[in-house]
Amino acid sequence: MAAKDKHNEVFLEEAKELLAELETALLELEETPEDKDLIGRIFRAMHTIKGSGAMFGYDLVSKFTHEIETIFDLVRNGKMAVSKDLVNLTLQARDQIKFMLETPEMGTDELDKNTRIIDQLKGLVPAGAMAKPATSTSTAGSSTAPAASSGSIATYRIFFNPSRDIFRTGANPVQLLQELHSLGECTVVAQIQNLPFLEDLDPESSYTSWDILLTTDRGLNAIKDIFLFVQDDSELKIDVVDVIDPSQQVDYQPYTKKLGDILLERGDVSPEEVKQALSAQQRFGQILVGMGAVGSDKVASALAEQEHVRDVRDKRQKEESVMSVRVPAEKLDRLVDLVGELVTVQARFSQAAAEKQREQSSYLTIAEEIERLTAELRDNTMSIRMLPIGTTFSRFKRLVRDLSRDLGKEIELTTEGAETELDKTVIERLGDPLVHLIRNSIDHGIEDTAVRKAAGKPGQGTIHLAAVHSGANVLIRIADDGAGIDAEAVRTKAVENGIIAPTAELPEQELFALIFAPGFSTAKKVTNVSGRGVGMDVVKKAIDALRGTIDISSSRGRGTTITLKLPLTLAIIDGFLTKIDTEHFVFPLSLVEECIELPRGDRETADGRHLANVRGNLVPYVRLREQFMISGSMPDIEQIVITRVSDRRVGFVVDSVIGGHQTVIKNLGKFYHEIKGISGATILGDGTVALILDVPNLVRSAEYDAANTR
Amino acid sequence: MSLTAIQQDRISTIAIAGELTISVAEEFKAVLLEAFRGADEVFLKIGELDAMDLACLQVLCSAHRSAVRAGKKMTYASPPPVLFRSAVADAGYTRLNECPLNQDNSCLWQTMG
């Protein structure tokens, strides 16, 4: 049962990927309706969902998908054109398939919806086009050979014996063989047992027949087409001997079909003859020839088949293994854990080596070597978890398409940097915040077509989604060419909601940041898209949880750009290690700008105002000793670590600064989940625990405290 | 097509060039039959070809089989040109490694070099 569940899970996982592929391909098809490759991709995705669905007991899914596939077969065969309606309905069908997979128990409403979609799709089929696929489907179904559908790669065994006077008809059998070569990998074995000796030979007759092995994804019909003009007078037999479905993630079984099996299958020998031959200890082919059971040419041909199929499979397997490696996320997580531990051990070793440096300098050399290796191992392992963000991007094409249609706006989504790689977890957790931001742009940002035209802008609005690497971070920009944020409206609303005081003077940047405050919305009307005042604060929280930051820039009438800055990975960061009394704290190095000293004298004259003068600029600071209620005596000179969060500089006072530290992030566990200001912990070289500071959160709570004590 | 046959000391040498297709197959057969009549060994000297088809391939193959049956030899005087080799390969003749009349490993298609 457990194994069955596991397989089911794998199927659902694959179906999810196929549905994503289906959606992407459909959206692309809308842009380029003539693209045959896209139609092929769509067809293959549906075909695999149908096949695997039936295998795992999702009969409804399988039946429904079959209907859609039948219609798409018409498109594939050029009997039906791609239209907007077809794409719309197929997208709806795709959503239904998704729903059916998620909800195996379907209500009658949903079943009706299925029927409606199929009926509507059938309504698009041009008259007379439908008869053909029904026939072809039933032919495929009744085939005795392993089913080789379009899209799957099949190896065919073709026996071709042209009529003796084929030369006189002007046909050239060798040319037909060359055409077969153009379909795929082809092994041709000529058979000349009918070739007479020279005196009896009629040079204008054909005596050669052929056993051909062809591996192709073009399907049976493509092969039959080649023999179209000679088939009436020739002997032609086509069998499928092997099928590889490229969309299936299969562990290829090694090709083990024995020579005897092939000869038996071809009807060249009887089972008894095989049995008899097997009892002798000679090479099997030789034995059969020796027995006179089969001609040596037949054996050669069967051997060629064995070799051909084996080669094709080997080659295919090699190609696949080069293309991608599928690793369960669980194993990867474990690998990352291990690397984390290794990094910790390395740190301990380095520390030990440093202490023994005087006696054993070689110790240090080893430590350096381990350090280099560990760093490489870390980078390599992390790269396995990296995925291109493009998969997330393609999801938004559908969102923009559907939402803009619902709102009657014309919006185009353009993307850039889809190949930018980010940690798998970051990508997964980024999806929802991005949806919120894009929805917001569609609803509040881009104006109605008429308004845009009146403002002298093109009627179609644009949302540009871009990703780019920037050091240890990835920047994701969502830029629209809409109305921009009304700073005054934000201000009024913030005052109304008591977020800021009526007299507060805030620069535009800080005003914009207020839209991320809980319960904030400037939308004049509530639509089903956005404007309920939930969302932007959720976005902020999600991005914070990813240790990222959000920046907004907006220009009235010209548009808004939201920039998310995200770390490449969540597992290891470059940290900045500090100490207060006996406790260690780690700052994410990416947020640290500089350190300055805070002598006892300055501390006393500051009069409790917590402001430091940094080259003429006042920088507010937070005393972490007070924040975390650490007792003990303060050193004469403390250090202020100055960080930059959302374009604001805030200092944090610690006793001493230790320096850069490769920080393996460990979760604090459920009990400590709610602690504000701490995002995790790490284990130091000597085995003690250092807490990793959640700097943006500390800044926010300090601001909150300051506002309340004012 | 240019086709010349010289016979000396029971050895025939046939020089072929140009177009080796069905239009000359009958003539080709006749030349080969004649070449074997007074010789025990036939050398094939295949020069630059413009074309080569299955009809002439069959003639050559059949001639070789007849020679083996009669205990005679038929071999290349020099390695055949590329066009000849590709015509043999395209017709699937290179895989005829189990011809029952190839007991002395003299098969024309296996000894192209």
A chain contacts of residue B56, beta-carbon cutoff 8 Å: 203
Q: Rg for chain A (alpha carbons), in Å?
A: 35
CA distance A214 to chain B (A): 13
Query: Alpha-carbon distance A74 to A78, whole Å?
Result: 6
Residue of A173, A190, A207 lying closest to B96 (CB–CB): A190
Least Cα separation, residue B110 to chain A (angstroms):
13
Give whichever of A554-558, A698-702, B95-99 has the largest mean pLDDT.
A554-558
pLDDT at residue A4, as a whole number: 56
Quick one: pLDDT at residue A614? 87
Helices A108-124, A59-76: axis angle to 10 degrees equals: 10
Phi, psi values for residue A551, rounded to 5°: -125, 140
Tell me whether residues A203 and B26 touch, CB distance under 8 A.
yes
Which residues 236-295 on chain A approach chain B with CB closer than 8 angstroms? Answer: 289, 295
User: What is the spatial distance between Cα B25 and Cα A353, in angstroms, rounded to a whole number?
Assistant: 88
Distance CA B45, CA A34 (A): 54
For B99, which of A177, A208, A297 is closest by C-beta distance?
A297
Q: Which residue do the tokens 């030990």 mark?
A: A352
Coil vs helix vs strand at A266: coil
Dist CA A62 CA A469 (whole Å): 42
Mean pLDDT calculated for residue range A671-684: 81
For residue A478, give both structure tokens. 């969502």
Mean pLDDT within A45-66:
81
C-alpha triplet A342, A347, A349: angle, nearest 5°? 95
Q: Are the Cβ atoms of A204 and B55 closer than 8 angstroms?
A: yes
Residue A399, Cβ density class (10 Å: 0-12 exposed, 13-18 middle, ≥19 buried): middle
Report pLDDT digits (tens) over A242-271: 777 655 444 445 566 777 778 887 778 888
B29/A201 Cβ within 8 A? yes
Q: What are the DSSP calls for A453-509, one per residue? A: HHTTS-SSEEEEEEEEEETTEEEEEEEE-S----HHHHHHHHHHTTSS-TT----HH
What's the whole-model pTM score?
0.48
Q: CB–CB of A447/A527 below 8 Å?
A: no
- The answer to whether B61 contacts chain A (CB < 8 Å) is yes
**Quick one: how many helices (H) and strands (E) in chain B?**
3, 4
A188 → chain B, closest CA residue: B92
Structure tokens at A405: 């249609």
Chain B contact for A299 (CB, 8 A cutoff): yes
For residue A181, name the pLDDT band (cuts at 50, 70, 90).
confident
A207 inside 8 A of chain B by CB: yes
Nearest to A195 among B32, B56, B65 (CB): B65
pLDDT band at A535 (very low <50, low <70, confident <90, very high): low
From the CA of A431, how many Å to the nearest CA of chain B? 55
Kindly state whether A188 is in contact with chain B, defined as any CB-CB distance less than 8 angstroms.
yes
User: From the CA atom positions of chain B, what is the Rg in Å?
Assistant: 13
Interface of A with B in 23-82 (CB under 8 A): none
Residue B27: per-residue pLDDT:
92
Out of A64-78, A239-253, A456-470, B6-20, least confident range: A239-253
The single-letter DSSP state of residue A640 is E
Considering only the beta carbons, identify the residue of B36, B62, B92 that sits closest to A189.
B92
* Nearest residue on chain A to B109, alpha-carbon basis: A190
Residue from the list B22, B90, B96 with its beta carbon closest to the beta carbon of A178: B90
Q: pLDDT tens for residues A299-316?
A: 878 888 888 887 777 776
Nearest CA in chain A to B27: A203
Query: Which parts of chain B are beta strand (E)?
Result: 2-8, 11-20, 41-52, 73-76
Residue A185 contacts residue A214 (beta carbons within 8 Å): yes
Please report how many Cα atoms fall inside a 13 Å half-sphere around the Cα of residue A286, on the Cβ side: 4
Distance CA A111, CA A527 (A): 29
C-alpha B12, offset from chain centre = 12
Q: Does B53 touch chain A (CB under 8 A)?
A: yes
ipTM of the complex in this document = 0.95
Distance from CA of B7 to the nearest CA of A (A): 19
Within 8 A of A301 by CB-CB distance, chain B residues are 95
Is residue A645 less than 8 Å (CB to CB) from chain B?
no
Of the candidate ranges A99-108, A159-168, A552-561, the one whose mean pLDDT is the lowest: A99-108
**Which distant-in-sequence residues (6+ apart) come within 8 Å of A398 by Cβ?**
A23, A27, A91
pLDDT above 50 for A534 = no
Distance from CA of A318 to the nearest CA of B (A): 26
CA distances from A213 to A147, A349, A386, A609 (A): 17, 61, 41, 86
Residues of B with Cβ-Cβ distance to A197 under 8 angstroms: 62, 65-66, 69
Burial A325-355 (b: 16+ CB within 10 A, else e): eeeeeeeeeebbeebbebbbebbebbeebee
The answer to whether B99 contacts A192, with C-beta atoms less than 8 Å apart, is yes
A414: closest CA among A389, A393, A436? A393
Strands (E), A192-307: 209-216, 235-244
How many CB pairs lie under 8 A apart between chains A and B? 97
**B16 close contact with A: CB closer than 8 A:** no
Smallest CA–CA distance, residue A206 to chain B, in Å, is 7
Identify the helix (H) or strand (E) that includes residue A423: strand A421-423
**What is the rounded CA–CA span in Å between residue A492 and residue A514?**
11
Q: Quick check: A357 pLDDT over 70?
A: no
Contacts of residue A83, defined as CB under 8 A and 6 or more positions apart, other chains included, come to A33, A124
More confident residue, A486 or A669: A486
Please check whether residue A171 touches B, CB under 8 A.
no
C-alpha A587/C-alpha A496 separation (Å) is 36
Q: What is the DSSP letter of B69?
A: H
Residue A196 is nearest to which of B25, B62, B98, comparing CB atoms?
Answer: B62
Segment among A212-216, A506-510, B20-24 with least mean pLDDT:
A506-510
C-alpha torsion A424→A425→A428→A433, nearest 10: -130
Mean pLDDT of A669-695: 83
- A177, A207, A296 member nearest B100 (Cβ): A296
Put simply, the answer to whether A177 touches B25 (Cβ < 8 Å) is: no
**DSSP class of residue A666?**
B
Q: Which of A173, A174, A195 sits opposite B61 (nearest CB)?
A: A195
- Given this model, what pLDDT does residue A526 score? 43
Give A171's contacts in chain B (Cβ within 8 Å).
none
What DSSP string runs through A159-215?
EEE--TTGGGGT--HHHHHHHHHTTSEEEEEEE-TTPPPGGG--TTS---EEEEEEE
Q: Tell me which range, A123-127, A447-451, A504-508, is most confidently predicted by mean pLDDT.
A: A447-451
For residue A1, is pLDDT > 50? no
Angle at A493 between CA A492 and CA A495, to 5 degrees: 65
Q: Name residues whose C-beta falls within 8 Å of residue A640's C-beta, 6 or more positions apart in sequence.
A: A595, A596, A597, A598, A612, A619, A621, A651, A652, A653, A654
Contact B54 A299 (CB under 8 A): no
Q: Kindly state whether A170 is in contact with chain B, defined as any CB-CB distance less than 8 angstroms.
A: no
Rounded mean pLDDT, A624-649: 88
Angstroms from A272 CA to nearest CA on chain B:
24
Q: How far apart are the first and last CA of chain B?
A: 24
* pLDDT-above-90 percentage for chain A: 13
Using CB atoms, pick whichever of A167, A189, A197 lies closest to residue B55. A167
Is B66 within 8 Å of A198 when comparing Cβ atoms? Answer: yes
Nearest to B95 among A172, A177, A300 (CB): A300
Q: Give the A window 139-168 contacts with B, CB below 8 Å.
A: 167
| Alpha-carbon dihedral angle through residues A667, A668, A670, A676, given to the nearest 10 degrees | -110
* Residues A410, A473 contacting (CB under 8 angstroms): no
| Range in A133-147, A166-180, A394-408, A504-518 with the lowest mean pLDDT | A133-147
Query: By three-state DSSP, how is residue A128 classified?
Result: coil
Question: Taking residues A650-670, what's their average pLDDT?
Answer: 86
- Sort out which chain A residues have CB atoms less than 8 A from B29's CB and list them: 198, 201, 203
What is the pLDDT at residue A269?
Answer: 82
B89 to chain A: closest CA residue: A188
CA of B21: how far to CAs of A199, A295, B1, in Å?
Answer: 19, 30, 9
State residue A596's pLDDT score: 92
For the segment A598-631, what is each residue's pLDDT rounded down to a tens digit?
A: 888 777 666 667 888 888 888 889 989 988 889 8
Q: Which residues contact A358 (CB under 8 A, 6 or more apart)?
A: none
Q: Is the CB of residue A178 less than 8 Å away from at least one CB of chain B? A: yes
- pLDDT tens-digit readout, B52-105: 999 999 999 999 989 988 999 999 998 899 899 989 988 988 866 567 677 677
